[in-house]
Amino acid sequence: MTRIAAVHGALAPHRHAQREITDMVAGVCLPEGSDRRVLDRLHDSAKVRTRHTALPLDAYAGLQDFGAVNDAFIEGAVSLGAETVGAALDTAGLSPRDVDLLMFTSVTGIAAPSVDARLVGPLGLRPDIKRVPVFGLGCVAGAAGIARLHDYLLGRPDDVAVLLSVELCSLTFQRSDASQANLVATALFGDGAAAVVACGGRRSAGAHGPAVVDTRSHLYPDSEHVLGWDITGSGFRVVLDASVCDVVRKNLAAEVDDFLIGHGLRREDITAWVCHPGGPKVLEAVEDALELPVGALDVTWRSLAAVGNLSSASVLHVLRDTLAERRPPAGTAGLLLAMGPGFCSELVLLRW
């Protein structure tokens, strides 16, 4: 079966305390003369201590239109993506010429040629590499990306596949927009990347990461309004409905239980919950819905505090940290899960 050979996480170059970002947002995103008390309250309650940004904070005021923002995205994504994939391949003991498939995902910028195409030359990937650029999955794409690598490698067990996520969320913060959704986004989201190297069943000798046992996708009906983007003249304007947590509480437990039962497992059998750090309220909804024991999502909470929500890259950072800091006993089951626009969930059953 598919085995994960390496997970590498990287962060954008500029690191800031939460209060520094709050002050930048007050100057860039609030209309002149606005009361910033709501902004301060939302940023203080996000449980984020530090975040990274693609640009220095004083550069954001100069990004006057979507073209300038997207140019900054392409430059940052190519640079951070090359660093991240290179480091992941080094960790896996593989060369760029070994890679048969490169999947790239982001929901914070667009490019044609796509970012994955722009990386082939700089990384030394083969010109016959299969490329799959993915846009629109948002926060769920880290989990969904691993699932789709698994689908591919089941049919090509001698191959090596790489998932790259680059999310430069700070570039999507909307100027002169004091809406609650925009202010919540500016409180939570940070900039970073992650890469996963996965090997097919006949190529997995020497790969020390977990095996992918099975995956499940679920799209909840009539929930398109819950999460996503409105594409406007100024770029990506966040859609973030207050009902997100209600959808999680209503649906997640039944979906997880049905998935696990199909493999003769119960929640109690899961030795590590690798969960996307959507935000404090979402994480509390996950804990409540699944009735998780105290501390089950500690790695996720720590990731949220240290780097914020990195959209699709976040759950991959949590996977990396789980392997490094709280690796479960060999042979036990783990569950990687994320949710995103649609509204949807993606579950990945792992064997450590």
Is residue 276 within 8 Å of residue 338, measured between CB atoms?
yes
Task: Give the DSSP letter of residue 130.
Answer: E
Query: Which of 66, 279, 112 lies closest to 189, judged by CA?
Result: 279
Among 63, 143, 146, residue whose Cα is nearest residue 109: 63
Q: Is 46 helix (H, G, I), strand (E, B) or coil?
A: coil
From CA 104, how far away is CA 96, in angstroms rounded?
Answer: 15
| Rounded Cα distance, 50 and 21, in Å | 9
The answer to whether 131 touches 158, Cβ cutoff 8 Å, is no
Q: Which two tokens stand for residue 195?
A: 């890469």
Q: How many helices (H) and strands (E) does the chain have?
A: 10, 13
344 has catalytic annotation: no
Give the up-direction half-sphere exposure of residue 84: CA atoms within 13 A in the CB hemisphere: 33
Helices marked H in 8-140: 18-28, 37-44, 66-92, 115-123
* Burial of 305 from C-beta contacts in 10 A (0-12 / 13-18 / 19+): middle
DSSP state of 335: E
Which member of 139, 199, 245, 344 is catalytic? 139
Task: Please count the other Cβ atoms lying within 10 Å of the Cβ belonging to residue 295.
Answer: 9
Contact 140/337 with Cβ under 8 angstroms? Answer: no
| C-alpha span between 223 and 333 (Å, rounded) | 30
Q: Which of 211, 328, 337, 214 is nearest to 272 (CA)?
A: 328
Q: Is 62 exposed, middle or buried (0-12, 13-18, 19+ CB in 10 A)?
A: exposed
| Beta-carbon contacts of residue 241 (< 8 Å; ≥ 6 apart) | 225, 226, 227
Catalytic sites, residue numbers: 139
